[in-house]
Structure 1
Amino acid sequence: MKHYLEFTVNIKPVQATQLILEDTELQSNLIFQDNKGAEEKEIVILVFQKFFFRNNSTATLTVTIDDFSGVTYVKCISSGNGDGIFDIGWGAGKSFIKPIRQKLAANILEIIEDN
């Protein structure tokens, strides 16, 4: 089951990444990180992977943080956290996104989409 969260923050992408990676559990689940920047435009891509015992599945969380439009957007997409034919996730996807939101909570300007 896919879960998606998009919001804006009042800090630059690299600063947001530093806050996220202060969480040791998130840091231990990080499997990919890429930072690109040119002329005051930055993008950071983070990919996390975690095994959830409650539904016996491995979930991924992809986070993109960019300031291409002058505002920093954070987009979180969790997937692969469902089990069985009905793709039941038992809350695994939302719980995987939750630490990202918590680490950046003080900097959130607007939540654009949360499902």
Structure 2
Amino acid sequence: MKEFRTSIPPYESASILLKEIDKDDVKHQEYHDIGEGKQMCVLVFERYYFRTSGNASLTVIMENMNGITNVRCISSGSAEQMVFKFDLGAGKNFAAWAERVLSEYLI
């Protein structure tokens, strides 16, 4: 899991991430306007990695319940082999992608 904070609201963070990924990789989008400027959104992505011969998923949870946008990236990767499930860094790479895309807004 990778955690970081951004200076922009969750909905804006989500919009930036969605502009930087292939639409076919977006599996789920969920948005909640709590009121009083508080927002929460969840994005789920899935991408095929050749090095693992399998898909890696990334769930990104963004919320600003305490005034600052917290971003949590949870990756899950799998390999083609049934016995050994090594993701060879695919999951970590996927989570790092989200942080890179939002790097201009990190605090």
Scaled to the shorter chain, the TM-score interval is 0.7 to 0.9
CA distance in 2, matches of 1:82, 1:56: 6
Q: Point out where structure 2 has 5 or more consecutive residues left out of the alignment.
A: none
Q: Point out where structure 1 has 5 or more consecutive residues left out of the alignment.
A: 110-115
Q: 2:3 aligns with which of 2, 6, 21?
A: 6
> Do residues 103 (structure 1) and 104 (structure 2) align?
no
CA distance in 1, matches of 2:20, 2:50: 21
Once the two structures are superposed, residues 92-114 of structure 1 have per-residue CA deviations (whole angstroms, 9 ceiling, x without a partner) of 112212221111001111xxxxx
Q: 1:74 aligns with which of 65, 71, 76?
A: 71
Q: 1:47 aligns with which of 38, 44, 48?
A: 44
Contact 2:59 2:74 (C-alpha < 8 Å) held by counterparts: yes
* Larger RCO, structure (CA 8 Å, separation 6 or more): 1
Q: TM-score, normalised by structure 1?
A: 0.82
Same amino acid, percent of matched pairs: 30
Matched residue, 1:19: 16
Q: 1:34 aligns with which of 30, 43, 66?
A: 30
Q: Which runs of 4+ in 1 moved over 4 A?
A: none
- Give the C-alpha shift of residue 13 in structure 1: 0.4
- Give the C-alpha shift of residue 28 in structure 1: 2.9
Q: TM-score, normalised by structure 2?
A: 0.88
